Amino acid sequence: MAPNRPTIKDVAALAGVSKSLVSLAMRGSDRVSAESRASIIEAATQLGYRPNAAARSLADRRSHTLGVVVLDLLNPIYAEIIDGVQGEVRQHGYHTMLVTGNDNPVIEQGEVEKLLDFQVEGLVLIGHRMPAGSLDAIGGDCPAVVISRAERGIAGLDSISNDDVSGARMAVDHLVSLGHRSIAHVTGGGNEVAMLRKLGYEQSMTEHGLADQTACYDGAFTDEGGYRGAAAALDSGRGHTALFVANDIAAVGALAAVADRGLDVPTDISIVGYDGMALAGLRSLSITTIAQPLARIGTEGARLLFLRIGDPTRPPAHIGVEPRLIIRNSSGPCHT
């Protein structure tokens, strides 16, 4: 419609001042007289002037933009983390470019490249799936923070994650305090996070003198995986009275496995999940869980990134946040 977007020059001409002054005024400098400022604003609104972000970032060599890469938007816990990140970023007056990897390393890599082309000033990686090599390369190119994966050993990258080992122990402690002894673990597969949760489970069982009761069943971080693992546990004949399931989604699957066998939760079987996704709190599910402070992980992650942007030489930090137990209706006293 409009033949062409008005530029700073058009505004200057209409207001009868130089383009430099318009530039100052637009950025709210106090070296502009009230009079000039008024006529500039007048002219700008009249023309519908809109600063060109590309030109701006070219000229001052800063994009005022952060890139956020998330493994997979469909996972509700990532969505909650993102909300935290975005809030913090907004407060700093930065803009956010959010992209998904679609759970696909190749796409993820490509998206990251694009973000770097855009000269983002920093990168937030949420649950990434990149080989350590590329991660290193990124770290060299651009400040970055890794959320939700403890990247020990990756030099130069800040990271933040919850303490999975200690969280898993909380789950076991809770079940033990309810009188359970035969507590099985449905795992989340072979990934790093799942391994840590398994480790915490084993440690805590041993500490409670229940080493001989330890039993792990293969699962995954999915509904299906939880169902499979729980089914194996229930059919094992070992008389488990409680299940610590590696994450909330899988716990939902476990719930179904229990129901399919005509058993009741929590009367016959107690279930504890992990993550604290909002969904697990819905009344029909009401799953006891180890909740990560998701929004806080997001905001702290962003804060970490801003610190590094402010001082690129500071030593890489890892922040660990403590998860907390949320007791709902899927866990109850042991009746055997």
Binding footprint of its own copies on the chain (CB under 8 A): 1, 50-55, 57-58, 63, 73-74, 76, 79-80, 82-83, 86-87, 90, 95-100, 102, 107, 114, 116-119, 140, 223, 227, 249, 252-253, 255-256, 259, 278-279, 282-285
DSSP state for residue 127 in the 8-state scheme: S
Unique residue bearing structure tokens 């490249």: 113
The residues near 94 (Cβ < 8 Å, ≥ 6 apart) are 64, 65, 66, 121
323 cis-preceded (ω within 30 degrees of 0): no
Note whether 232 and 226 are within 8 A (CB).
no
Buried b / exposed e along 70-105 (16+ C-beta atoms within 10 A) = bbbeebbbbbbbbebbbebbeeeebebbbbbbeeee
- Shortest reach from residue 192's CB to DNA, in Å: 37
95 binds, among its own copies, DNA, none (CB under 5 to 8 A by kind): its own copies
1 binds, among DNA, its own copies, none (CB under 5 to 8 A by kind): its own copies
Judged by CB, which is closer to its own copies: 196, or 252? 252
Judged by CB, which is closer to its own copies: 96, or 213? 96
- Shortest reach from residue 87's CB to its own copies, in Å: 8
Dmax over CA atoms of the chain, in Å, equals 87
The residues near 52 (Cβ < 8 Å, ≥ 6 apart) are 5, 7
Note whether 260 and 234 are within 8 A (CB).
no
289 binds, among its own copies, DNA, none (CB under 5 to 8 A by kind): none
- Please report, as ranges, the residues that interact with DNA according to CB under 7 A: 4-5, 7-9, 17-21, 23-24, 26-27, 30-33, 35-36, 49-52, 55-56, 58-61
Judged by CB, which is closer to DNA: 60, or 315? 60
8-15 helix and 19-26 helix, angle to the nearest 10 degrees: 110
- Shortest reach from residue 162's CB to its own copies, in Å: 19
- Shortest reach from residue 289's CB to its own copies, in Å: 15
